């Protein structure tokens, strides 16, 4: 090809007519089948394998991929991929391979891996400690009071402020009766549950007054 022909072809490639024709041609079925055939060829696969090994180590590629990993598009893609059934099945099988087992063994023997392993062990043991502590705490008198207060605030939108300590002996089971929307008073369970219904608060307050508690000064709430 002559020099004149090369210059003409180079200029022609930059013309709008050529670009418009290429854009249409790239969308044709003929071109798509051609590209598919080229990409599936053995020569193309070997070339891309060698190219990716060298290109992936270049600073340009590393900088680009680092920025791309921080983009919302990549994060959404990873989230969608990790939630797919195929990915979960693959990761489960991959975790059982000897390659992954050897990698985990080497990683947890490294300085960073030892720190991560120790952190996970402490986290697990601390969770277990919190669980045991909460289980024991909520069986104590103080813990039971805390639970009653939480239930009153969350389920009934009431406050939970005791106006006195429990004066009854341990043999008598006690409920905490709301004399209004704020204050509660320890009441024998049988007495408290004797007057359930719409007029529960009013009737229970009257019974407590008869017992000598004199709670009329606190009774500001509804029935």
Work out how many domains the chain is built from and give that number: 2
Average pLDDT, stretch 198-220?
Answer: 75
CA distances from 140 to 104, 136, 188 (A): 44, 7, 18
Q: First vs last Cα of the chain: how many Å apart?
A: 103
Average pLDDT, stretch 1-7?
Answer: 71
What are the tens digits of pLDDT across the range 30-65? 999 998 998 899 888 888 888 888 888 888 888 998
> What per-residue confidence (pLDDT) applies to 223?
45
Contacts of 188 (CB under 8 A, 6+ apart): 168, 172, 173, 174, 175
Domain of 106 in residue numbering reads as: 98-134
> For the packed helices 85-94 and 72-83, what is the interaxial angle rounded to 10 degrees?
80
> 107 in a domain, yes or no?
yes
> 8 in a domain, yes or no?
no
Average pLDDT, stretch 179-205?
Answer: 82
> 105 in a domain, yes or no?
yes
Same domain, 166 and 201: yes
> What per-residue confidence (pLDDT) applies to 218?
64
Mean pLDDT of the chain: 83
> 116 in a domain, yes or no?
yes
What are the tens digits of pLDDT across the range 89-147? 998 898 888 988 898 889 889 988 888 888 888 877 877 778 888 888 878 888 887 77
> 193 in a domain, yes or no?
yes
> What per-residue confidence (pLDDT) applies to 84?
92
């Amino acid at each position: 090809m002559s020099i004149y022909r090369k210059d003409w072809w180079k200029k022609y490639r930059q013309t709008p007519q050529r670009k418009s024709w290429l854009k249409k041609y790239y969308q044709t079925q003929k071109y798509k089948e051609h590209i598919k055939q080229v990409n599936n060829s053995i020569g193309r696969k070997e070339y891309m394998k060698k190219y990716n090994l060298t290109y992936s180590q270049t600073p340009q590629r590393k900088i680009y991929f680092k920025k791309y990993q921080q983009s919302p598009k990549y994060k959404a893609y990873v989230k969608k991929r990790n939630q797919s059934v195929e990915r979960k099945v693959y990761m489960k099988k991959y975790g059982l391979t000897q390659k992954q087992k050897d990698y985990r063994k080497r990683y947890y023997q490294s300085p960073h891996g030892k720190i991560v392993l120790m952190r996970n062990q402490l986290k697990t043991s601390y969770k277990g400690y919190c669980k045991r502590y909460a289980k024991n705490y909520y069986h104590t008198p103080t813990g039971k009071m805390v639970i009653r207060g939480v239930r009153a605030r969350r389920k009934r939108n009431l406050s939970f402020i005791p106006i006195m300590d429990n004066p009854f002996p341990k043999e008598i089971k006690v409920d905490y009766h709301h004399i209004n929307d704020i204050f509660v008073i320890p009441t024998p369970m049988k007495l408290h549950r004797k007057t359930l219904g719409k007029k529960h608060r009013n009737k229970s307050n009257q019974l407590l007054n008869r017992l000598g508690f004199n709670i009329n000064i606190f009774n500001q709430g509804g029935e």
